[in-house]
Chains A and B, each alone.
Chain A
Amino acid sequence: MLFNSLSFAIFLPIIFFLYWFVFNKKLISQNFLLLISSYFFYACWSWHFMFLLLFSTLLDFYTGRKIEAAENIAQRKFWLWLSIVINLGFLGIFKYYNFFIESFADGLSLLGIKINPWTLQLVLPIGISFYTFHGLSYVIDIYKNRIKAEKNFVEYGVFVSFFPLLVAGPIERATHLLPQIQRRRTFDYSQAIDGMRQILWGLFKKLVIADNCAMLANNIFDHPSAHTGSELLLGAIFFAIQIYGDFSGYSDIALGTARLFGIELLKNFAYPYFSRDIAEFWRRWHISLSSWFRDYLYIPLGGSKGGTWMKVRNTFIIFLVSGFWHGANWTFIIWGGLNALYIMPSILRGTNRNNLGIVAENRVLPSAKEFLQILTTFALTVLAWIFFRSINVGEALFYLSGIFSKTLFMRPEISGTANIILILTGFFFIVEWIGRHNNFALSNISKLPLPLRWTFYFGLILLMFIYQGQAQTFIYFQF
């Protein structure tokens, strides 16, 4: 059930109605409805893997309680590692087994030893990377005494499987989400209206921006040899816009949907393409994952406390692991490594926390220096996205060599459709720029008079209907 599907458009109002009109009297009934509807939502993808989700939830619920009840540190460690090993074990089997076995076979073949690797024909359970990380953060937080173990399975079940975040995040923390699940939600008009606005903006990002850019990017990435350097560069830019529109659009729909149920999820994007350096970009892109790796990997590894070498080592580790989290392919690892390289100068010079505020705060336009910084950061991310988008490293290198050829400065031949998409993308970035001080681009629109506001909403809906691109699955669903 995709967020941009008719089935979700039917599912959401039904659950909304039941939640506020039938199951609204008691906390237990609210949570029970959310749990059942979330499992139904997941079962629409795959009812078989619903049992894996249930098992993972039961495991973390049980080990969490065991960690809390343990009488000594050894027992606590045992239950923690049991949860980590089983959770990562499932992730490893479903997502990484084939990659490791094939890479091992490739390595042996370099030494002249040929083996036929025994690979598994498994379908990756949707959302496994996300709900595994939910569960891990929960048991680690209990181990670190940051939270108490949850005693109510329904509440814990909702924390792991709440349908807006189940398949592609944001990766929630028990410290943030569980307290909201533990208290009865009452309807808040402004929260619900804001939620609707965020859903609308998310749908626009996905249907108009991402899906249209996808068509153009796919066309160029599928036939790189048929395009000039300038067209290949344009293809990479289209992909950069696609992945942002796609994933931040998904996140906006997820956050907006959760708000309709009186729940605030973690912010996942904060206008990353307006970043002035790579460090700022990574504070603004997929925030829930970046902060997860910071809290559960970077800091436990020593963070930046152990001197320059430690900082460099830990930065490389989290970027490589982050890349690998996205998929079992060398392209993702290189993408992670490239970003680590990008960020390294600022880490070494200690300037990685220079740009903590909002760009051009209280100004309409950025300064020339800021504009140049934004452009440079965007150009670097675009080059890295080529590895992320390519099927294999060879293809990515071929694509890059195509860009940096004599034809880079030739005028790109683009279709009439591409011109319209460029105009729409321009409009999209203008709205995002205006709204960059806010939680999401449209959240400050409530200050406008109602007729103007409604005309704007209607305009967005109209653009969605007229310029809706060919439906594509959300990119992050594969992770």
Chain B
Amino acid sequence: MRKFLLRLLVFTLFCCMAGEIIIRVFRLVPDVPQRFVDKTGIQRYIPGQHGYFTRATEPWHINQYGWLGMADTKNDTLISIIGDSYIENMMNPRSCNQGSLLKGYMPDYGFFEAGRSGVSFIEAMEISNFLDSTIHPKYNLLYVSNSDFTESLTNKKRLSDIVQIDLKNNKILVGTLKSPKLKKMLYSCKLLYFLYLKFPVLVNKEDKEKHQHTDASSQPFEEQDINQLFQYCQNHYKIKKTMLVFHPGADKRVIQLASQYGFRTIILDSSQDKRSWALNENDGHWSCYGHSRVAEQVNEQLSKIIIDLKGE
């Protein structure tokens, strides 16, 4: 029995070591950057980090501002691009980022990308406020999907790790980092993280819900709440310079309300495209092709909006 257990232990250790090496060499799990919560309550990444997404050929880098992607702050006419993991875009080369693609269409403008996985609509608005006070963009482009609005509201469910708004008290609730030390350990030990992703027993329902981009039909439409949310935005943010870029399948009622409150809206449509925008069957994030199609549609509608705004 002793020999059996000893062999089993040694073999397990051998597997762990070999597994760790193979996972690192073949990049079977993504490197996940560490976050911090800044003074304004926004979660950003600790600057200077770099790593690779699963099977990626190009590394990601966290810039001095705590985001990934373009940070062309020298340009006088700057457009900020705010959003979640779609904008963060770790899974594609940097040339497929919205900033890089839009720069190709609009060379006179500078672009600043502020994307972070799990950002809610209200946190995106907070980020726009923060950028307005620091890098002074001319326009803010917020890429949003249906779930971003409901996730912003505490009266549905308090998601403790993201920024939300308590509509009853008109108060922004800052998110807190969940077990950062444990997460750091998990992300550092690649084998452990690999097993965690394969057997997601510890992923709670809250997290699962948070990362799903659902279509309009599956989302309840709480008109009063969304009205209140936009009312709050009208009073606290510069919405005239904020353009909401709605993901394909966004709820038309939300888009309509957003327009009524003064947001400029850009609506993405993938229904006419024979080719899928998604990375693959299991990952709905946009591929390079998807990003290029998005940038094409954004450029088209954004150019019209800018002309309109100049005329006003």
Contacts and interface: CB of A to CB of B under 8 A. Distances in A.
Contacts of B1: 20, 187, 189
Contact of B4 (A193, A454, A457): A193
Interface in B1-34: 1, 3-4, 7-8, 11, 14-15, 18-19, 22, 28
A334 to B, nearest CB: 35
Contact of B11 (A192, A454, A462): A454
Contacts of B19: 458, 461-462, 465
A187 B198 contact: no
A6 B200 CA distance: 10
Contacts of A189: 1, 3-4
Q: Which 7 A-B pairs have the closest CB atoms?
A: A187-B1, A192-B4, A189-B4, A458-B18, A6-B199, A458-B15, A189-B3
Given A189-B3, A458-B15, A465 B199 contact: no
Contact of A465 (B4, B7, B194): B194
How big is the A interface, by class? 10 to 19
A115 B14 CA distance: 67
Nearest to B28: A466
Given A187-B1, A192-B4, A193-B4, 13 more contacts: A6-B201, A20-B1, A187-B4, A189-B1, A189-B4, A193-B7, A196-B8, A458-B14, A461-B15, A461-B19, A462-B19, A465-B194, A466-B28
Interface string A176-210: 00000000000101001100100000000000000
Contacts of B11: 454, 457
Contacts of B14: 454, 458
Residue picked from B11, B19, B194, B198, most chain A C-beta under 10 Å: B11
Interface in A431-461: 454, 457-458, 461
Contacts of A193: 4, 7
A458 B21 CA distance: 13
Contacts of B18: 458
A468 interface: yes
Contacts of A20: 1
B199 to A, nearest CB: 6
Interface in A219-262: none
Interface residues of B, number: 16
A462 B3 CA distance: 25
Contacts of A187: 1, 4
Nearest to A459: B18
Contacts of B7: 193
Contacts of B199: 6
Nearest to B22: A462
Nearest to A457: B11
A193 B194 CA distance: 27
A22 to B, nearest CB: 13
Interface of B: 1, 3-4, 7-8, 11, 14-15, 18-19, 22, 28, 194, 198-199, 201
A35 B219 CA distance: 49
A259 B184 CA distance: 40
Contacts of B194: 465
Contacts of B198: 465, 468
A6 B7 CA distance: 22
A192 B28 CA distance: 32
Nearest to A466: B28
18 contacts: A6-B199, A187-B1, A187-B4, A189-B4, A192-B4, A193-B4, A193-B7, A196-B8, A457-B11, A458-B14, A458-B15, A458-B18, A458-B19, A462-B22, A465-B194, A465-B198, A466-B28, A468-B198
A189 B1 CA distance: 7
Contacts of A461: 15, 19
A394 to B, nearest CB: 31
Contacts of A465: 19, 194, 198
Nearest to B19: A462
Contacts of B28: 466
A328 B201 CA distance: 36
Interface in A59-114: none
B11 to A, nearest CB: 6
Nearest to B282: A470
Residue picked from B4, B19, B194, most chain A C-beta under 10 Å: B4
A57 B18 CA distance: 47
Contacts of A196: 8
A465 B199 CA distance: 10
A66 B156 CA distance: 65
A43 B14 CA distance: 36
A193 B19 CA distance: 22
B104 to A, nearest CB: 30
Contacts of A458: 14-15, 18-19
A189 B5 CA distance: 10
Nearest to A191: B4
Residue picked from B1, B22, B194, most chain A C-beta under 10 Å: B1
A454 B12 CA distance: 10
A458 B19 CA distance: 9
B89 to A, nearest CB: 23
Interface string A33-47: 000000000000000
Nearest to B195: A465
Contacts of A462: 19, 22
A369 to B, nearest CB: 43
Nearest to A462: B22
A454 B194 CA distance: 21
Contacts of B3: 189
B9 to A, nearest CB: 12
A20 B1 CA distance: 9
A358 to B, nearest CB: 31
Nearest to B10: A454
A454 B15 CA distance: 9
Contacts of B201: 6
A322 B28 CA distance: 46
A196 B5 CA distance: 12
Nearest to B26: A466
A319 B182 CA distance: 58
Nearest to A451: B14
B256 to A, nearest CB: 38
Residue picked from A196, A461, A465, most chain B C-beta under 10 Å: A465
A454 B19 CA distance: 13
A21 to B, nearest CB: 8
A465 B19 CA distance: 10
A192 B199 CA distance: 27
B1 to A, nearest CB: 5
